[in-house]
Amino acid sequence: MKIVKTVAEVRAQVAEWRKTGMSVGLVPTMGYLHEGHASLIKASVRDNDKTVVSVFVNPMQFGPAEDLESYPRDINRDSLLAGECGADLIFNPEPEEMYHEGFSSFVDMSVLTQELCGLSRPVHFRGVCTVVTKLFNIVKPDRAYFGKKDAQQLAVVRHMVDDLNMDLTIVGCPIIREDDGLAKSSRNTYLNADERKAALVLSKALALGADLIRGGEKSCSAIIAKMKEFIEKEPLARIDYVKIVDCATMQQIDTLDRPALAAMAVYIGKTRLIDNFFTEDL
C-alpha cells in the first residue's frame, strides 16, 4: 500500500490513473480504521477503478475541550486494513500540509447544522465542510463514501455538494455494528470494560424506539421520553441529546408523518458516542 503525505503526490498519482480513463473513489477518514471504514473502502473498490483513502485527524473540526490530542492514530495498522480491502493509495498529510500558514478560507453551512451534533459541537461542521472540500479538490474523485453513523455529516456533505455544484456523487453506507449491537467507532477504544457494557444503552434505546414506531406510535415526544428513560437507568451514561428530526431539514418534528432520523449522542464516562436510525430503514 502506497502512503503519500503531500497534495502534489496525490495529484500526480490520480493524474496518472486519469490518463487511462480510470474512475476514482475517495474514502475520507480520520484513521484508526475499523469494519465501518472497511465497508466504505469495499464499496468504493466495488464502484471505482481506483480508491484513495485519506487518513487525517482534522484539527479544524474539534472544539477546544474535545479529544483532538487523544484521538487514536496508527497509520501502519490503517495501511494494512485499507490494503486488505483493496484500496490503492493512502493520503496521510500532516496538519501543515492541509493548513499552511495564513490559511483563512472556510466552507460553512447555515442550514442542517443547527441541531443534533451541530448544537453541542459549534465549530464541528465548518471544520468538516472545509476539510472535505479540500479533499475533494485534491483528489477530484468521481464518488466519495460516508457512513450513515454520522447521519448529520452525510446530510451536510450532500447539501454542500448540491449547493456548490461539486462534480461528484456522495454514497452513504449502512452503520456497521459489533455483534452485540454497539455501532463501530474509533472512539470505542476509549471505553474500559464497564463502559463498553454500558455503551450498549445507545443501540438498545434505539431498538426500543424502533419497536414503538413499528407498533404504530407517532408521537416523537412519547418515543423520545421512553428512550431517555431507558438510557437514564444506566449510571455511566449521560445524555447529550436524543432527538427525532426531519431527514431533509434535520429540524425536530412532533409527529412521525414524514421520513425521519432518530439520533442520539450519549457520554459513556468521558466518551461521547453517537448512534441513529432512519425510519425509512425500519
- Kindly list the catalytic residues: 37
| CB under 8 A, 24+ apart: contacts of 67-73 | 67/187, 67/190, 70/190, 71/30, 71/32, 71/186, 72/31, 72/32, 72/186, 72/189, 73/31, 73/32
**Which of positions 110-139 make contact with ligand PAF (CB under 6 A)?**
128, 131-132
**Are 98 and 58 a contacting pair, CB within 8 Å?**
yes
Instruction: Report CA torsion sign: 124, 147, 278, 109.
Output: positive
Helix (H, G, I), strand (E, B) or coil at 49: coil
Shortest Å, Cβ 57 to ligand PAF: 8
Size of site (CB under 6 A) for ligand PAF:
10
Q: Cα torsion at 192, 194, 196, 197 (round to 10°)?
A: 170
Amino acid code (one letter) for 134: K
Binding test (CB under 6 A) with ligand PAF, winner from 61, 92, 188, 203: 61
29 touches ligand PAF by CB under 6 A = yes
Binding test (CB under 6 A) with ligand PAF, winner from 78, 142, 150, 275: 150
Shortest Å, Cβ 74 to ligand PAF: 15
51 or 61, CB closer to ligand PAF? 61
30 touches ligand PAF by CB under 6 A = yes
DSSP 8-state assignment for residue 184? P
28 touches ligand PAF by CB under 6 A = yes
**Which of positions 151-190 make contact with ligand PAF (CB under 6 A)?**
153
State the residues that interact with ligand PAF by CB under 6 A: 28-30, 58, 61, 128, 131-132, 150, 153
